[in-house]
Amino acid sequence: MYTKMIPQGYLISLLLFTGAVNSYAQSDYPPPGKLVDVNGYKLHLIVEGSDGPPVVMFHGAGDIALIWNLVLPKVSKFTTAVAVDQAGEGWSEHGHAVNMRQQAYDTYTALQNAGIKGPYILVGHSLGGILVRVFAEAYPKAVAGVVLVDATHPDVVLKIYKEGKASWKQMRLTASEKEIPEPVRTPLTKQPEVKTFQPKRDFGDRLKNFSKRDRALFQWFYNERPYSYVPGRKSFEAETMQALYENPIDYSFGDKPLIVISGGNKDDQEGDSNWSTAELRAHSEKLQKDLLRLSTNSEQIIARKSGHQVHLDESGLVAKAIKSVIKKLKSRD
């Protein structure tokens, strides 16, 4: 996968698209899921289905939990399906921090507090695939299997903006020397001060398969209500990618079932003198195959009708892959 992104980073790019909801209780668009306490702040979880190993879905940069609403109903027919808004995203409240170690802790704590016990099947799209690996490193016994949906590889090449100029390069190479903070596990005693602004987002036909209600939720969320953010917070994406790149075994899945779904219909014409379109595409395909090395029990599925948004273009394929992981787990019993 190669994607346009602002390195400093994920928070800034997310600010263009996401943010915690202000006064949602007074609006016509309350949280579609439930709010679960995590040490003094609440995460939004959309939960459907029951029984079976819980499937926990992490969205990519700029998206919210609702983006899984084409996959969730299909998966809920055979197991429990959960989509997560991280702290400061979607309908979730702001918490202690926005780095992925904190997000892994927040997610695990919210699941426990919601009574959704593991082990889990983790599903990650795009940057959510990096979060899957951070979660699995922090809670290895809580992970039973993994589905990566056109997931980001730590050696991903992105369009990096610096001082108003853009160039394509490996994002991990922009990492600072700063240590990635450990998650804060103490209660949040005071909500952080936030700033708000009102951007706009054009979805084109991206939402065509969603229900009328969900399309209205997306429209309100991205284009009608103010977004909030905590100034000065750093998300450490580049540093996290560098850590995964340097220590791949620590962030792998052993022999747990892994399915890598890769978009097979990408026609983006992007690049520069550093990375041509052909080089970007070849590098992306190489990285998708490299993800198979994260488990000794892995397979790759090419989504022929999809680009990067496989969970929107071929939601049934994603649900089928999740069901296949469950079948593999049952065959071990």
pLDDT at 37: 97
**CA distances, 312 to each of 70, 316, 319 (Å):** 7, 9, 11
User: What's the pLDDT tens digit per position in 105-126?
Assistant: 999 999 999 999 999 999 999 9
Summarize the confidence of residues 8-37 as an average pLDDT: 59
Predicted model pTM: 0.92
For residue 164, pLDDT beyond 90: no
Peptide bond before residue 271 is cis, with ω within 30 degrees of 0: no
Q: What is the arithmetic mean of pLDDT over 149-168?
A: 93
Largest Cα–Cα separation, the chain: 55
27-70 tens-digit pLDDT: 678 999 999 999 999 999 999 998 899 999 999 999 999 999 99
Label residue 2 by pLDDT band (50, 70, 90): very low
Give mean pLDDT, residues 206-233: 93
**Cα separation of 225 and 220, whole Å?**
6
Q: What average pLDDT does range 284-293 have in this prediction?
A: 98
pLDDT band at 19 (very low <50, low <70, confident <90, very high): low
- Give the per-residue pLDDT at 296: 98
Sorted by where each starts, the structural domains of the chain and their CATH numbers stand as: 3-332 (3.40.50.1820)
Averaged pLDDT of the chain: 91
pLDDT at 268: 79
Give residue 199's pLDDT.
78
Task: Give me the pLDDT at residue 27, please.
Answer: 65
Contact 65, 85 (CB under 8 A): yes
pLDDT band at 297; cut points 50, 70, 90: very high
What would the mean pLDDT of 252-281 be, rounded to a whole number? 93
Residue 139 is given by DSSP the state -
Percentage of the chain beyond pLDDT 90 is 82
Could you tell me the two tokens for 206? 């991206």
On the 0-12 / 13-18 / 19+ scale of CB atoms within 10 A, 257 is buried
